[in-house]
Structure 1
Amino acid sequence: MKTLNTTYRNISIAIMGILLISTASSCKKFLDTQKQGVYRTDDYPYPGNSGPYDLYIYSAYNFLRDYNVHADGFVVATSIRSDDAEKGSTPSDGGADVISMDNFPVSSSSSRANSLWVAYYGLINRANTVMDKINNDPKIEATDQQKTAAAAEARFIRGYAYFMLVRLYGRVPLVDRLLSVEESNVPQSSPEQVYAFIEQDLQFAASNLPPSWPSAFVGRITSGAANGILAKVYLTQKKWAAAMQSANLVMTSGQYDLSTPYDKIFREDGENSKESVFEIQATASAEEKEKNGCQYTSIQGLRGQGNFNMGWGWNMPSAALEAAYEPNDPRKARTILYSSTTTTTNMSIYGEPLPIYPTILPNPKYNNKVYTSPSYRSKVSSNMGYWMNVRILRYADVVLMYAEAANEVGGADNISKAVAALNTVRKRARGTASGVLPDVVTTDQAVARTAIRQERRIELAMEHDRFFDIVRWGISGEAMAAAGKTAFSPSRDNLLPIPLVQIDLSKNVLTQNFGY
């Protein structure tokens, strides 16, 4: 593939300059940056608990915040495509490229399908650069322990990128090293081969990453993150016993719990809490409003004027999601933000009266989980939320994966464990509210399965799991039809098209998915 040529091998000083970090104990996120050009690649110092490969590892971490990795295309492909969300904004905003992701079918010429492909292979390339430095650069002095630790981080990032690719596209090329131009036209591997590769990467990462990092490196990948993503990889393949075991390793690690109130998880002061298993770090300041952050939040922010001009207004919660909540579930208000009407003044989670929007946006709904604090907006002198972290894997997700896997393994004891785990999530969700979200009481596997699936939908609403869940459960067709997305065809639309531009660049070595 043309996107994987060796120009990536020589990382420019200009690019690397933005990755230099401050490790002072007061740092909140380890990707806080200094000015460009302070160090060269040959004299970069190794602060406490960092190492000789960190310059290259940070390149991969930095790219996790890229516009095409965890912002535009990510939101469109994982959430707007699902039954829980609509595109939002004005009817024509985003054009045919985004509208087709919402209403189907997606064109093989879709720029977002191609951008996602290129971005995730770019992330893989950065991980492979770390591996290349470990294996082939004699100028870098490192102990075996440092090499193993660096490889664990790189292989986690590579495994995660391939997990995204295989769920989005199915058959994709496997590239486990930096390639020359002559080698770069790689044919697709089967999903089974890709999943086996992902498992190997994540198993290595889980075995060699620490359970936690010093405070200067908050947000850096841990063994818990590796086991948590590995549990999801197993769950996707219906490897129930393995998924149950991996999730249990996270749950018994002592690093995470459900103590963070649901309302707080998604606030700025809820970042990197005991709920956080894998969270993309972002930061902003009055001096640097965007460069060190992620556009994830502003894409979904309120589309308005003045103080309430917070973004594009994309990823609107659907009527189907709205109707799925149990009566008085507190999570609904924390997930769905309603603008004011001519008769009702609605308030933000910070007590701000929300405006009435024009008739072209009649009573729009927004993803309330990305609503930003007015104090942060004031401090950064921006409404666009580039400082907000992206929650990729939460502890509640791990608990619900454990519940699902235990229930599918079956047997009275495992079904009991599944229901007990499910109820811990419901207990946290109801908080101090009485008479809502009662414990699920059942010994029936089918009843428990329905309850666990419902809980995943509500607990993780608007957090980018729903589409992948309904696909792996085999219910995507009925779920999308129930949400009014009647042009959706599971045999075609469970996967995105292989981007036509990539097929052309490969001279037809790459082949198209069914139905496109």
Structure 2
Amino acid sequence: MSISFSIIKKTLLAAGIVVAVQSCKVDIMPTDRYTEEAVWSNPANMELYVNGMYSEFKTFQFGVFPIGYDNATDALSDIEKYTSTVSGNGTVNILATDASRVNAAGPQLNYWQSGYTRIRRLNEFLDGLAKYAKVDETGKKQYEAEARFIRGYVYFWLVKLHGSVVLLDNIGQYLTTNHQRAAEEDCWKFIAADFAYAAENLPKQWDAARTGRATKGAAYGMLARTWIYAASIAENDKKQFNQDALTGVSAGNAQTYYQNAANAAKAVVDLANEGYYALETDFNNIFTNKNTKEAVFKLDFVAPQLTHNLDLGFAPPADAPGQCLVYGVPTAELVNEFEMSDGSKFSWSNTTQAASPYANREPRFYASILYNGASWKGRTINTTPDNVAEGFTEYAVTTEPRKTVTGYYIKKMLNPAVNNFVVNKSVQSWIELRYAEVLLIQAEAKAKLNDVTGAQDALNALRNKRGLPNTAASNTAQLMTAVEHERIVELAFEGHRYWDLRRWRKAHTVLNNVKFTGHKVTPSGASFKYEVVPCDNVNRQFTPALYYIPIPVGELQVNTALTQIKGW
């Protein structure tokens, strides 16, 4: 007798089905229920099941994880400020300023249960595929590759959070509920193995009927992302922040993992050279063009069946008076990062630049930020405090201001062509993996391998397409400064900054004991005065313990072999 399955509930994108799956082998096929063999030997069921597994990516669309609001992950960092002060809309502010709110008893930053539920379903699928599937060998490998791509992604998030987690890759392991965590390094290797298998067996492109499925390029891109995380932790952690025996990655393997990241990134670049991917000339166009070649892996939305609320959450108030929520806004720290149009660094100490701080900035600035004087949907944005509709308001004076608390609004990813998003919602694609990120991974890995020319080439390919000159960085330290800068401005509001600071082990300095800022703009004669003002009312907190999020205490109670991460 094989393992006994519980009823499997599968919510699919294409259809909803609930089947009772019996695992006992009998001579006569029961007629009042579905058997494992009947379910998994039906090609239509296989297709529906694997389609349904892709819904896991919606958990992370537009940076919604872990707070439950779009872009909330970036609001844990230095590039975005959420406007609310109260639990719910303002939960991200509470977490960013009170490290004690993250604990083993609390629900914050918790993906454990839902992640392992998805892993269970994927392992059931892989088991049925191996035993009963009636598809050819190529089809079987492709199905396995898709399932392992999704499983690798789920584990990637679990390991980003906890470092050391339980590894489950076959259904036989579910005969017992008692499993200890694996070493963090083994976890990264496990994830890499899933993405490597997917890269080997997925097609470069699917036919029109299967558009949106994982491809060879997506798998190589995720493999590159996996190895750059493992390499960063190997280099920067060195057991400085947690003494758990199972956390950490061997520092001696950093160079190997950087090379692995560079190799995987090159595989995506090779596909780009074949015409599958490319950088856009118009940065604005990337996020509203469903056919953009920058998208290596994305989620598409189609009204009215499948929509989201990005515009409702982040559009400036006058787009839909009284209804826009204005969850989060850019910080001055982010705004200051954008270069001048000639590639020089912006500085408030430069009197010419300070007099007109929004003039002659690089193209990504105008595509990402709405500032005082910006043109938007036929009007001029006015963020001066006297503007009732969408002017500056001090943070924490009102619990739900629904206006900017930094003097800026987010423009990136909003749809400039619509104002009916309150009723019709939004359909911009969520790009989980962009070709620009792959080039930045390649640049970082090459810099760490002391391949200065290779790192420069990757950075310059991106910068030149964004209308900027070649980087001036000429050694590893300078190149890493350049990479961090490019990741801030290129990937802003795409959910990377907080996790970058964590993997570089910079979060406890950048995000701790500091208040981030905005710019209060007021009329001054024929021009304006720009005043730096705090957008935090208390200091941010990031303690070293937060590099490894605790396992929810309830999981320790149901899995008696599982131990808590040391320090929690």
Q: TM-score range by the shorter chain?
A: 0.7 to 0.9
Structure 1 residue 404 and structure 2 residue 444: aligned? Answer: yes
Alignment of 1:7-156 (within 5 A): 7=6, 10-11=8-9, 15-16=11-12, 18-19=14-15, 53-66=46-59, 71-73=64-66, 75=70, 78-86=73-81, 88-94=82-88, 97-105=91-99, 106-108=101-103, 109-114=105-110, 116-136=111-131, 138=132, 140-156=133-149
Q: Which residue of 2 aligns with 1:457?
A: 488
Deviation digits for residues 152-197 of structure 1 (CA, Å, limit 9, x no counterpart): 0110010011111101121211122346875234322221121111
Q: Which moved more, 1:399-408 or 1:252-261?
A: 252-261
* TM-aligned CA deviation for residue 252 of structure 1: 0.9
Report the Cα distance in structure 2 between the residues aligned to 1:198 and 1:453, rounded to whole angstroms. Answer: 25
1:406 maps to a residue whose letter is: K
Q: Which residue of 2 aligns with 1:261?
A: 282
Deviation digits for residues 338-374 of structure 1 (CA, Å, limit 9, x no counterpart): 4xxxxx56443x4455542685335344432231344
Structure 1 residue 477 and structure 2 residue 511: aligned? Answer: no
1:241 maps to a residue whose letter is: Q
Q: Which residue of 2 aligns with 1:511?
A: 563
Q: How many residues align?
A: 456
Structure 1 residue 389 and structure 2 residue 432: aligned? Answer: no
Q: Which residue of 1 aligns with 2:350?
A: none
TM-score by length of 1: 0.78
Deviation digits for residues 193-219 of structure 1 (CA, Å, limit 9, x no counterpart): 211110110110000001111233322
Report the Cα distance in structure 1 between the residues aligned to 2:460 and 2:203, rounded to whole angstroms. Answer: 30
TM-score by length of 2: 0.72
* TM-aligned CA deviation for residue 325 of structure 1: 1.9
* 8 Å contact kept, 2:185–2:230: no
Q: Which residue of 2 aligns with 1:235?
A: 228
1:118 maps to a residue whose letter is: Q
Q: Which residue of 2 aligns with 1:367?
A: 410
User: What value does the CA root-mean-square deviation take over the aligned residues?
Assistant: 3.4
Structure 1 pair 422–54 and aligned structure 2 pair: CA distance change class (3 A): same
* 8 Å contact kept, 2:508–2:544: no
Structure 1 pair 118–334 and aligned structure 2 pair: CA distance change class (3 A): farther
1:281 maps to a residue whose letter is: D
Report the Cα distance in structure 2 between the residues aligned to 1:246 and 1:274, rounded to whole angstroms. Answer: 19
Sequence identity (%): 26
Q: Which residue of 1 aligns with 2:465?
A: 428
Report the Cα distance in structure 2 between the residues aligned to 1:178 and 1:314, rounded to whole angstroms. Answer: 42
Deviation digits for residues 305-340 of structure 1 (CA, Å, limit 9, x no counterpart): 7825666433432232222222312212322334xx
* 8 Å contact kept, 1:303–1:309: no
Q: Which moved more, 1:98-107 or 1:162-171?
A: 98-107
Larger Rg: 2
Report the Cα distance in structure 2 between the residues aligned to 1:311 and 1:72, rounded to whole angstroms. Answer: 21
Deviation digits for residues 382-423 of structure 1 (CA, Å, limit 9, x no counterpart): 2532x232221100110111111112111xxx2112112201
Q: Which moved more, 1:144-153 or 1:213-222?
A: 213-222
Structure 1 residue 211 and structure 2 residue 224: aligned? Answer: no
Report the Cα distance in structure 1 between the residues aligned to 2:164 and 2:312, rounded to whole angstroms. Answer: 29
Q: Which residue of 2 aligns with 1:252?
A: 270
1:125 maps to a residue whose letter is: R
Report the Cα distance in structure 2 between the residues aligned to 1:461 and 1:514, rounded to whole angstroms. Answer: 33
Structure 1 pair 383–510 and aligned structure 2 pair: CA distance change class (3 A): farther
Structure 1 pair 429–325 and aligned structure 2 pair: CA distance change class (3 A): same
Q: Which moved more, 1:236-245 or 1:483-492?
A: 483-492
Report the Cα distance in structure 2 between the residues aligned to 1:390 and 1:69, rounded to whole angstroms. Answer: 6
Unaligned stretches of 5+ residues in structure 1: 21-40, 339-343, 431-436
* 8 Å contact kept, 1:89–1:312: no
Report the Cα distance in structure 2 between the residues aligned to 1:110 and 1:384, rounded to whole angstroms. Answer: 32
Of Structure 1 and Structure 2, the greater helix share is in 1
Deviation digits for residues 232-256 of structure 1 (CA, Å, limit 9, x no counterpart): 1111122111111110110011211
* 8 Å contact kept, 1:76–1:98: no
Q: Which residue of 2 aligns with 1:271?
A: 290
SS of 1:391's equivalent in the other structure is strand
Q: Which moved more, 1:324-333 or 1:248-257?
A: 324-333
1:134 maps to a residue whose letter is: L
Report the Cα distance in structure 2 between the residues aligned to 1:448 and 1:104, rounded to whole angstroms. Answer: 34
Structure 1 residue 332 and structure 2 residue 328: aligned? Answer: no
